[in-house]
Amino acid sequence: MKRWLSLAFAISLGVVAFLSGCSGGSPEKVRIGEVTRSLFYAPQYVAIEKGFFKDAGLEVELTTLWGGDKTMTALLSDGVDIALVGSETSIYVQQQGATDPVVNFAQLTQTDGTFLVSRKQIDGFTWDQVKGKDYLGQRPGGMPQMVGEFVLKKNGINPKQDVNMLQNIDYANIPGAFASGTGDFVQLFEPQASQFEQEGVGHVVASFGKESGTVPYTSYMAKKSYIDKHKDVIQRFTSAIYKAQQWVAAHSPEETAQVIAPYFQDVKPEIVTSSVKRYLEQGSYATDPTLGEQAWNNLQDIMQEAGVLQERADYAKLVDTSFAQAAKEGK
């Protein structure tokens, strides 16, 4: 199903992994590959800007890889040490028969981060209003699309029959396509949703995060071999993320927006603030890094409903909560 995963495995099997630990010097370099640049990941940028990684003796190199396929390929081929990407990708890797599984060790976001945007203003929106309409979808097999279909089905709508699902547009070009007149509805992350509202291009009518419930939408993961060799690094990394999650939870959207502004220089400050506020209000930012088993099962329910889950993945094999637990205990 995932041709790119097969390619990634071929690459990773051909690479001799030699990731040496810190030889006494500090800080230790850690390469993070994020799947996209998003206000959804505010705690990560807070951890960098507030010096939480630096305080933990880590020098973080952050690369935006623009897509789950590219992010996982980079992780499997040792192009990055840690990936920030949808937890479903670790399951896809397992389904390809990985001998070195990708393990989720810290959750960053705990709901879907997208919103349903309508081209027309709709007062008192109900989900049956999308029936028969052009609906700009996301990449098949990715979390946004799977959650979108899950929510549609939950509200009695068959995404393959009741709407005209358009999925022939690359992820990065979806907002531009909607702005140019394609589609009656589109599923968007912040800040694009708020920007479209401000510009009069579209109107937010529903939250997929509220509709789909708690799910490990985005988490930090690494190959088991890397974790086994760098447990101290993973622990320090997780503790820094936990500190940032707690900071975001304790501060106002305005304060968080000010800290992360350097990462969103092309977004108006008031839009950054309103987007952070919206994510805080619906509980999208996890307040600690623990990826719970119930949330893991919810993720697999969504994947199963989407028809991309060959068999249920073992929580104990693909999730390690020991680092999150130690972070919460101040270790």
Give the pLDDT confidence of 295-322 residue by residue, as tens digits: 999 999 999 999 999 999 999 999 999 9
pLDDT of residue 140: 87
The answer to the question of residue 18 being in a domain is no
pLDDT band at 17 (very low <50, low <70, confident <90, very high): very low
Give every strand in the sheet of 203-207, ordered side by side. 164-166, 134-136, 185-189, 114-118, 203-207
- The verdict on 30 and 85 lying in the same domain is yes
- The verdict on 297 and 277 lying in the same domain is yes
Q: Contact at 8 Å (CB) between 85 and 217?
A: no
- The verdict on 323 and 220 lying in the same domain is yes
In three-state secondary structure terms, 279 is helix
Is the pLDDT confidence value at 176 over 80? yes
pLDDT of residue 20: 38
Q: Give the tokens for residue 320.
A: 């390690």
In three-state secondary structure terms, 258 is helix
The answer to the question of residue 294 being in a domain is yes
Report the DSSP pairing between strands 134-136 and 82-85.
unpaired
Q: Name the domain boundary from 164, 185, 212.
A: 212
Dist CA 219 CA 278 (whole Å): 20
Dist CA 40 CA 191 (whole Å): 9
Is the pLDDT confidence value at 23 over 90? no
pTM of the predicted protein model: 0.89
Residues 6+ apart with CB under 8 A from 176: none
State mean pLDDT over 70-91: 97
pLDDT of residue 10: 53
Work out how many domains the chain is built from and give that number.
Answer: 2
Q: Contact at 8 Å (CB) between 327 and 242?
A: yes
Q: Tokens 């989900």 belong to which residue? A: 127
Is the pLDDT confidence value at 164 over 60? yes
Which alpha helices (DSSP H) does the chain contain, by range? 3-14, 42-49, 52-55, 68-76, 88-95, 143-154, 174-179, 192-199, 208-212, 224-229, 231-250, 253-260, 269-281, 293-306, 315-318, 322-328
Type of residue found at 160: K
Range of the domain at 202: 114-212
pLDDT of residue 18: 35
State mean pLDDT over 140-158: 94
pLDDT of residue 6: 58
- The verdict on 103 and 237 lying in the same domain is yes
Candidates 122, 20, 38; CA nearest to 78 is 20
State mean pLDDT over 165-194: 94
Domain CATH for 139? 3.40.190.10
| DSSP secondary structure code for residue 261 in this structure | G
In three-state secondary structure terms, 320 is coil
Would you say how long the chain is, in residues?
A: 331
- The verdict on 253 and 224 lying in the same domain is yes
- The verdict on 146 and 222 lying in the same domain is no
- The verdict on 122 and 147 lying in the same domain is yes
The answer to the question of residue 30 being in a domain is yes
Is the pLDDT confidence value at 48 over 60? yes
The answer to the question of residue 19 being in a domain is no
pLDDT of residue 14: 47
Dist CA 40 CA 52 (whole Å): 19
Q: Identify which has the larger pLDDT, 228 or 25.
A: 228
Question: pLDDT digits over 244-295, tens only?
Answer: 999 999 999 999 999 999 999 999 999 999 999 999 999 999 999 999 999 9
